[in-house]
DNA sequence: ATCGGCTGTGACAACGTTGTCACGCTACTC
DNA sequence: GAGTAGCGTGACAACGTTGTCACAGCCGAT
């Protein structure tokens, strides 16, 4: 491998001057600088990050520890956002993904390996919004938690603003004139569920409606096997047979919306025409394929990844949880009946 | 930061002996080894990868250059698989994701940055199965291409076996007794489309059927805007109004299957009961939410990631393209009418 | 003419680690 | 009892880079 000394020899100067050129030191005569740059080109010289690291005690590498990320579809957007901002700051991302099956000691080892690489900071990303128990040693370096929060550690954390999103989604339906809105709630064990329910309530109260008069049905439950089971067909049957059936349905997840689309189709009903539908998540494979197009609150995964990295690199992030708003993906499904 | 010399001082030995202990050299007296290990624990010593790198000219890091991976849902499984095997071999993954918007010079820079980190090898992952133009400098180090192939470079490559998968999927339907099978083909501009079509033909011929008598309809076309447009509703109408309507439909993509489910529901038809349906990809958000459960040929993304990394680390992979079989996700939708 | 400061350059040490070589000690062979 | 082999250990150099310091040459101010 060609080193800085080879370049110096080729450019007929000292290797120190080459170092200066590489690091943009202004105190190099233009002619010398030119010679050095030519030599670098000619020899295909690449600075050795290891040696740099040793001298400067910085690696320009950020560790990305992901807790089952990429298991859930599209949560990889966190990674993508983080990568974008890391790149913008001239950093690289060292990835370590912990699979669901892996135990705590695996996570500890992952952390250890990243530390050996002398990463300058750490992002810890969760696959879905949840409370995560972090090993205390994680406080040894600047770290930001993404898509999760930690009650045991005082780390800055970024989570999606579930409550606000639910409020916004409900407002969309209220603005279309709906007064009977049902909520098909996701898995009650999910952190997001009570928050989305609360946001639903917020909007109703704001509109002068009585939350208790609106139907909330749990449409997804976890099975003992860890799988999730959906009960949308029966929920819809229950809703439609009520004294005053809803004219709009807020789905707690795109998967629920998908099932609702199917259940409606079986009844000869079309979302956005016979019944308004709004959903959460904006999972592309679903939201991009449903017709009529689904109006859904898009999880800000990309944005969280970007902001987390920015926070880590620019800010001196205060401990505490920051909420990031969803964005609204407007389709036709929420339109006025 | 605590160094090897601090450990040596604490263990009352030379720093060289500490180095031996760390590197598992057997020629260290057990008592000494014990002392050293205690010192390492006590001081929280972590070897400095940069220094190691400099001495050994190896980084134990594999570069993962991804061409828009994580843009497509679930292609992140390639990353996950690669990570699994890298970990199993004691390597770390340095990620660089190139977004769709980015130009060629961005990719070149990404490569350059990975080289500066002295990665021991490189995985180049595509978001979907396609031909990819690679910069020639990529041949400077061991590299494997995943989910794509390169006609301009002689690199080992791994791609999903589209043709075989289509044949297997079709066989499933034939085994259920179907003799009239339609194929709703994906975007004709996709590399997978002709291969899946060929596999469909293979199975028909194998079963003594005349391919030309089976309907093939393109159900997805690219729009000038880069988006994809689905035409499943009209395709189904066309199929069902034919003289001999199909009793089974092979969908070229899960997204098509999703639309087919909806179109069938509108007609009061149920997949797996009134009409057999088999699909490709196994995109979790769709395949996990459709009822009746979808029978679909699962893209071997995880497996490709694993094998690519294994090839890179263990084998001396020969140039050329290797095909990896899909796995079959059995649902109810392919069942006998 | 002398001095002080600025500019461009280079010599040298240091970062933390591993490879090479050599040393002293023990245990075995003849 | 001398020679030899091997084991455990340490001294030292080297990896490629940057930080510190010094020096030579030039300029303008005194």
Inspect the interface and report whether the beta carbons of B83 and A71 lie closer than 8 Å. no
Work out the pLDDT band at B69, boundaries 50, 70, 90: low
Is residue B60 within 8 angstroms of chain A, CB to CB? no
| CA–CA gap between residue A20 and residue A34 (Å, rounded) | 12
What is the average per-residue pLDDT within B230-257?
Answer: 94
Q: Whole-number Å distance, CA B18 to C1' C28?
A: 29
Smallest Cβ distance to A48: which of B54, B84, B93? B54
* DSSP classification of residue B247: S
Which among B320, B318, B321, B317 has a CA at the least distance from the CA of B309? B317
Would A55 be classed as within a structural domain? Answer: no
Distance CA B331, CA B336 (A): 12
Give residues with Cβ within 8 angstroms of A259, minimum separation 6.
Answer: A219, A230, A232, A233, B289, B291
Cα end-to-end span (Å), chain A: 70
Is B207 within the bounds of a domain? yes
Do B175 and B283 share a structural domain? Answer: yes
Q: Give residue A70's pLDDT.
A: 60
Is A283 close to B87, i.e. CB distance below 8 A? no
Residue A280 predicted with pLDDT over 90: yes
Segment A252-278, tens digit of pLDDT = 999 999 999 999 999 999 999 999 999
Contact B96 A118 (CB under 8 A): no
The yes-or-no verdict on residue B219 having pLDDT over 80 is: yes
Max Cα distance, chain B (Å): 91
Q: Which residues contact residue A94 at a Cβ distance below 8 angstroms, ignoring those fewer than 6 apart?
A: A61, A62, A63, A64, A114, A117, A119, B61, B92, B93, B94, B95
> What nucleotides of chain C have any atom within 7 angstroms of a protein Cβ?
7-12, 14-20
Question: Chain B contact for A92, CB < 8 A?
Answer: yes
A211 inside domain = yes
What does the alpha-carbon distance between residue A288 and residue A277 come to, in Å, rounded to a whole number? 15
- Residue A314 and residue A250 in contact, taking contact as beta carbons nearer than 8 Å: no
A222 shares its domain with A144: no
pLDDT at B48: 94
**Does A262 sit within 8 Å of B261, measured CB to CB?**
yes
- Beta strands A216-218 and A295-298 are unpaired
Among candidate residues A258, A87, A22, the one with its CA nearest the CA of residue B285: A258
Residue B289 in contact with partner chain A when CB distance is under 8 A: yes
pLDDT over 60 (residue B283): yes
What average pLDDT does range B282-297 have in this prediction?
Answer: 94
Query: Does the CB of B92 have a partner CB in chain A at under 8 Å?
Result: yes
CA of A282 to C1' of D16 (A): 49
For the record, the structure tokens of A24 come out as: 């943009």
Shared domain check, A200 and A284: yes
As a whole number, mean pLDDT of residues A5-17 equals 91
Confidence label for B251 from pLDDT (cuts 50, 70 and 90): very high
Beta partners for residue A280, in sequence order: A297
Quick one: what percent of chain A has pLDDT higher than 90? 71
Q: Which pLDDT value is given to residue A238? A: 94
Identify the pLDDT of residue A211: 84
Do A127 and A250 sit in the same domain of this protein? no
A22 CB-to-strand D distance under 7 Å? yes
What DSSP state is assigned to residue B271?
Answer: B
Q: Mutual orientation of helices A4-11 and A15-22 as an angle, nearest 10°?
A: 110
| A57 Cβ under 8 Å from any chain B Cβ | yes
**CATH code for the domain of A97:** 3.40.50.2300
Confidence of residue B297 (pLDDT cuts 50, 70, 90): very high
Q: What is the CATH number of the domain that holds A31?
A: 1.10.260.40
Count of beta carbons in the 10 Å neighbourhood of residue A224: 5
Q: Would the pLDDT of B177 be above 90?
A: yes
Residues B295 and B168 in one domain: yes
The per-residue pLDDT for A245 is 93
Q: A323 has which bridge partners?
A: A159
Q: How many angstroms is C1' of D13 away from CA of B56?
A: 15
User: Is B99's Cβ below 8 Å from some Cβ in A?
Assistant: yes
Measured from Cα to the C1' atom, the residue closest to C19 is: B55
For chain B, the first-to-last Cα distance in angstroms comes to: 70
* Helix residue ranges, H only, chain B: 4-11, 15-22, 30-43, 49-56, 76-88, 104-116, 162-175, 192-206, 232-240, 254-266, 284-287, 301-313
Q: Do B111 and B97 share a structural domain?
A: yes
Across the interface, of B74, B94, B289, the residue whose CB is closest to A259 is B289
Pick from A127, A117, A73: nearest CA to A95: A117
Give the up-direction half-sphere exposure of residue B61: CA atoms within 13 A in the CB hemisphere: 33
Q: What is the pLDDT of residue A72?
A: 66
pLDDT digits (tens, 9 = 90+) for A59-78: 999 999 998 766 566 778 99
Output Rg (C-alpha) for chain A, integer angstroms. 26
User: ∠B104-B109-B111 over CA atoms, to 5°?
Assistant: 100
pLDDT band, residue B102 (cuts 50/70/90): confident
Would you state the structure tokens that stand for residue B1, as one six-digit string? 């930061």
- Which range (A73-77, A156-160, A166-170, B20-24) has the least confidence? A73-77
Asked if the model's pLDDT at residue B336 lies above 90, the reply is no
pLDDT at A18: 92
10 Å Cβ neighbour count for A28? Answer: 17
Q: What is the pLDDT at residue B322?
A: 95
Kindly state the percentage of chain B with pLDDT values over 70. 98
CA B81 to chain centre: 8
User: For residue A54, is it within any domain?
Assistant: no
Q: Which residues in 182-211 of chain A line strand D, with CB less than 7 A from it?
A: none
Average pLDDT over every residue of B180-201: 96
Q: In chain B, what residues touch A116 (CB-CB under 8 Å)?
A: 46-49
Identify which of A34-43, A137-146, B165-174 has the greatest average pLDDT.
B165-174
CA neighbor of B319 nearest in space, from B167, B191, B149: B149
Write phi, then psi, for B276 (nearest 5 degrees): -85, 140
A61 in contact with chain B, both atoms CB, cutoff 8 A: yes
**Quick check: B170 and B250 in contact, CB under 8 A?**
yes
Which nucleotide lies nearest residue B5, CA to C1'? C16
B289 with B311, same domain: the answer is no
B146 shares its domain with B179: no
**What per-residue confidence (pLDDT) applies to B228?**
83
In this predicted structure, what is the pLDDT of residue B91? 95
Burial of B312 (0-12, 13-18, 19+ CB in 10 A): buried
Residue B125 placed within a domain: yes
Indicate whether A206 and A281 sit together in one domain.
yes
Write out chain B residues lying below 8 Å of A299, CB-based. Answer: none
Q: By residue range, what is the domain housing residue A28?
A: 4-47
Instruction: Say if residues A253 and A259 touch (Cβ distance below 8 Å).
Output: no
Residues B79 and B41 in one domain: no
pLDDT at B113: 94
Residues of A in contact with B83 (CB under 8 A): 95-97
**A294 and A314 within one domain:** no
Could you report the per-residue pLDDT of A182-218, keeping only the tens digit for each? 999 999 999 999 999 999 999 999 999 988 877 899 9
DSSP string, A80-148: HHHHHHHHHTT-EEEEEEEPTT--HHHHHHHHHHHHHTT-SEEEEEEEEEEE----GGGGGS-EEEEEE
- Does B38 lie in the same domain as B96? no
Q: How many domains does chain B have?
A: 3
In a domain, B192, yes or no: yes
Distance from CA(B132) to C1'(C2), angstroms, rounded: 70
Nearest to B285 by CA among A138, A120, A71: A71
Q: Is residue B333 part of a domain?
A: no
At residue B1 the predicted structure's pLDDT band, cuts being 50, 70 and 90, is: confident
A105 vs B: CB within 8 A: no
**Cis status, amide bond into A292, omega within 30 of 0:** yes
CA distance A207 to chain B (A): 33
Residue B271 — very low, low, confident or very high, per pLDDT cuts 50/70/90? very high
């Amino acid at each position: 491998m060609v080193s800085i000394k080879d370049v110096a020899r080729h450019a007929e100067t000292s290797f120190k001057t080459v170092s200066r050129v590489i690091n943009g030191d202004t105190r190099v005569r233009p002619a010398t600088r030119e010679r050095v740059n030519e030599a670098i080109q000619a020899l295909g010289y690449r600075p050795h990050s290891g040696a740099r690291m040793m001298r400067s005690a910085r690696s320009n590498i950020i560790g990305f520890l992901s807790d089952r990320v990429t298991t859930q579809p599209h949560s990889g957007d966190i990674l993508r956002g983080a990568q974008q901002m890391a790149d913008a700051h001239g950093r690289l991302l060292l990835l370590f993904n912990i699979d669901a099956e892996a135990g705590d000691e695996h996570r500890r080892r992952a952390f250890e390996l990243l530390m050996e690489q002398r990463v300058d900071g750490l992002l810890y990303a969760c696959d879905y919004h949840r409370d995560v128990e972090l090993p205390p040693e994680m406080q040894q370096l600047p770290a930001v938690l993404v898509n999760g929060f930690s009650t045991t550690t005082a780390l800055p954390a970024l989570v999606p603003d579930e409550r606000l999103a639910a409020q916004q989604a409900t407002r969309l339906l209220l603005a279309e004139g709906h007064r009977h809105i049902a909520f098909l709630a996701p898995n009650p064990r999910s952190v997001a569920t009570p928050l989305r329910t609360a946001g639903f309530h917020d909007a109703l109260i704001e509109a002068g409606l009585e939350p208790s008069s609106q139907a909330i049905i749990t449409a997804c439950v976890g099975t003992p096997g860890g799988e999730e089971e959906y009960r949308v067909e029966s929920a819809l049957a229950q809703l439609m047979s009520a004294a005053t059936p809803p004219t709009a349905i807020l789905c707690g997840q795109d998967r629920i919306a998908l099932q609702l689309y199917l259940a409606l189709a079986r009844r000869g009903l079309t979302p956005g025409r016979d019944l308004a539908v709004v959903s959460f998540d904006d999972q592309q494979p679903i939201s991009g394929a449903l017709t009529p197009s689904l109006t859904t609150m898009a999880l800000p995964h990309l944005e969280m990844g970007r902001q987390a990295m920015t926070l880590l690199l620019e800010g001196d992030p205060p401990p505490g949880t920051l909420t990031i708003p969803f964005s609204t993906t407007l389709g036709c499904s929420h339109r006025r009946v």
